Amino acid sequence: MLDFSSLLLAAALSGTCLSITMLAIWFTAPRARFVLTVACGILVLVAHVVLFWQYTKEPNPWLCQAVLALLSLGFLIICLSAMQYLGVGNQGSVVVPTVTAMAACALVTYLGFDGVGFIITYTTVTALLAVIGVMFWTKGGHDRRILLVVSFLSGTCAVSFALCGAMLAIHGQWVLGVAPDNWAERLNTVVAVACMTGLGALTLSLHHLQAQIELKAETLTDPLTGLMNRRALNSLYGERAFGPFMAVVMFDLDHFKRTNDLFGHPVGDKVLCRFAAIIRKYGRNGVDAFRLGGEEFALVISRMTEEKAYDLASKIGVAFGAEVVPTPRGPLRSTVSGGIGFGAAGGSSLDEVLAEADKALYAAKHAGRNRVLVLDKESKAGGPALRSA
């Protein structure tokens, strides 16, 4: 059976292998910064284990302080990596209490109450692991099965550290002079090795999952404007039935080819980005914006009457017409034409609503541009009639 020293060395070896693997992954994918943070946290914990092993052989107060500080710091870094991955801000809410606890631990240990220092540190680590588990369970938006396992492992590890602190407190071991050694410590070492190995493997899975999500986002996003593209439009609404309170607005920038010819493509790109910014400014829940290609854009509007949809599209056109793009040839103002297609009570397909919006857009261009038009019932049936609202 493995003795306590062997368990500690096994933990150090496991952590070292994990951190090397994660560093290798980070070198191939530098954007995955949370992987680098996890690797750094595990390396700090490896240093803690090595020093703790040394402390079991030759205990002294300064080594004790280093051991406890590295334990809290390692799990703090791992907690910060979880916040990085989940996009949770306000890292100071975790850093400040942890640093405060580390300072309190250093003080009581310096005064000779090393047992109290261990209790403070175990309590701090328990809290950090609990925070990790809660964040992954409540903040994660990806595969719930992976998040459940992360939460379970963090919780299990937290319980093992809590037991270590509880054993010292129950037996009143406020002053130790040596490394604590009891069944809870041995159990904690085994659990920590298993949980950290599992969390390391799950970190790799989460990295792979994040890479897939980012790749999918890139394929559905227009790189110039940051709006969703035509593929995203078909993905989100290709199978949807458009009811009477849904609409598609087709926008086409007026004389855009002439803008590119006279002012150059870089200026044309600025104009496209300005229009994208206008669409975002007027965005709200139930309004999705897309760049379909070139100077053509689309807006899908849900839960809105025909009058309000027309009003929104008109405001976008007016706001864009007021935009001024500085160029070497002087200030440039551009306009946009729009056409709106509406769903039907019986449900219309995306292609049907797009065709209606495109027909209204063509009519707006033919009528002189810089306007938004809607087909009336006669036009939908094949007649020439149009209306502005």
Q: For the segment 244-268, what is each residue's pLDDT rounded down to a tens digit?
A: 899 999 999 999 999 998 899 999 9
Average pLDDT value for residue range 173-195: 86
Average pLDDT value for residue range 67-79: 94
Q: Which residues contact 384 (CB under 8 A, 6 or more apart)?
A: 378
Question: Is 90 exceeded by the pLDDT of residue 82?
Answer: no
Which of 40-54, 263-277, 370-384 shows the lowest per-residue confidence on average (mean pLDDT)? 370-384
Q: Which one of 214, 239, 295, 296 is the catalytic residue?
A: 295
Q: Please check whether residue 69 is in contact with residue 106, taking contact to mean a CB–CB distance below 8 angstroms.
A: yes
Question: Is 80 exceeded by the pLDDT of residue 292?
Answer: yes
Confidence of residue 133 (pLDDT cuts 50, 70, 90): confident
Closest by CA to 78, choosing from 45, 123, 41, is 41
Output 76 or 218, whichever has higher pLDDT.
Answer: 76
As a whole number of angstroms, the distance between CA 375 and CA 112 comes to 85
Indicate the SS3 state at residue 288. strand
DSSP β-ladder status, 287-293 and 246-253: unpaired
386-312-380 Cα angle (round to 5): 25
Give the model's pLDDT for residue 389: 40
Give the model's pLDDT for residue 26: 76
Give the model's pLDDT for residue 383: 41
Q: Share the mean pLDDT of the chain.
A: 85
Give the model's pLDDT for residue 385: 38
Give the model's pLDDT for residue 153: 84
Q: For the segment 270-291, what is each residue's pLDDT rounded down to a tens digit?
A: 999 999 999 988 877 778 999 9
Give the model's pLDDT for residue 16: 81
Confidence of residue 382 (pLDDT cuts 50, 70, 90): very low
295 catalytic? Reply is yes
Give the model's pLDDT for residue 87: 81
Give the model's pLDDT for residue 4: 63
- Provide the residue count of the chain: 389
Residue 117: C-alpha distances to residues 4, 106, 124, 174 (Å): 21, 7, 11, 8
Give the model's pLDDT for residue 211: 65
